[in-house]
Amino acid sequence: MERLAVSKIKCGTVIDHINAGKALLVLKILAIRPGCRDRVLIAMNVPSRKMGKKDIVKVENKYICDDELNKIALISPKATINLIENYEVSEKKRVKLPNVVEGIIVCPNKNCITNSREPIKSKFHVEKNGDNVKVVCHYCGKKIYELDKYIV
């Protein structure tokens, strides 16, 4: 067997089968930012039998809740989640596309109320668009087809 690109973790959450090149967006979605104290391992563009290339993110000592993890489906619908306990996989699951996403996406419409100084969180309705995902702003109705640019 090939050597693992990133080492095993003792316990925590492994997000596997992330679309190649999207690991940094996954960090954004999970709000892992500069200053964060969690131990996080990232592998990008590692070979994958199923996907050709994929990214992996491992967050140690943290079990991330489903609502957070499911947001990853926006950019990587095939991502899988492994919860690790004592170096063993204790639970395996797939991300599920949420119907509504609050926060994380910025509406590209500059004239949208969510981009004003009002006390407001962005909110998008998620729709499947073939293999891709389309989101629609709850407030102004703006549709986004290429999400990557608008995730913060």
Partner 1 sequence: MKLKHLISIDDLKKDEIIYLLELAEEFLPVAEGKKIRKDLEGNLLANLFFEPSTRTRMSFEVAMKRLGGNVVNMTAQEASSIAKGETLADTIKVVSKYVDVIVLRHPLEGAARFAAEHSDVPVINAGDGAGQHPTQTLLDLYTIKKESKLDRLKIALVGDLKYSRTVHSLIKALALFKSEIFLVSPQSLNLPEEILEEIERKTKIEKAELEDIIDYVDVLYVTRIQKERFPDEEEYLKVAGSYKIDLNILKKAKSSTIIMHPLPRVDEIDISVDKTHYAKYFQQAFYGVPVRMAILYELLRR
Site for partner 1, rule CB under 8 A: 109, 111-114, 116-120, 137-143
Q: 4 vs 120, which CB is nearer to partner 1?
A: 120
Q: Which two tokens stand for residue 86?
A: 């004592």
Q: Which amino acid is at 62?
A: K
Strand runs labelled E in 20-98: 40-48, 52-60, 80-85, 88-94
- Spatial CA neighbour of 136 closest among 151, 148, 122: 122
Task: Please give the Cα distance from 24 to 37 (Å, whole number).
Answer: 17
The nearest distance, CB 112 to partner 1, in angstroms, is 5
Q: 48 vs 109, which CB is nearer to partner 1?
A: 109
CA distances from 9 to 66, 84, 86, 96, 133 (A): 20, 7, 8, 24, 32
Q: 80 vs 109, which CB is nearer to partner 1?
A: 109
Q: Which two tokens stand for residue 22?
A: 């999207």
The nearest distance, CB 107 to partner 1, in angstroms, is 8
The nearest distance, CB 75 to partner 1, in angstroms, is 22
Q: 72 vs 147, which CB is nearer to partner 1?
A: 147
The nearest distance, CB 104 to partner 1, in angstroms, is 18
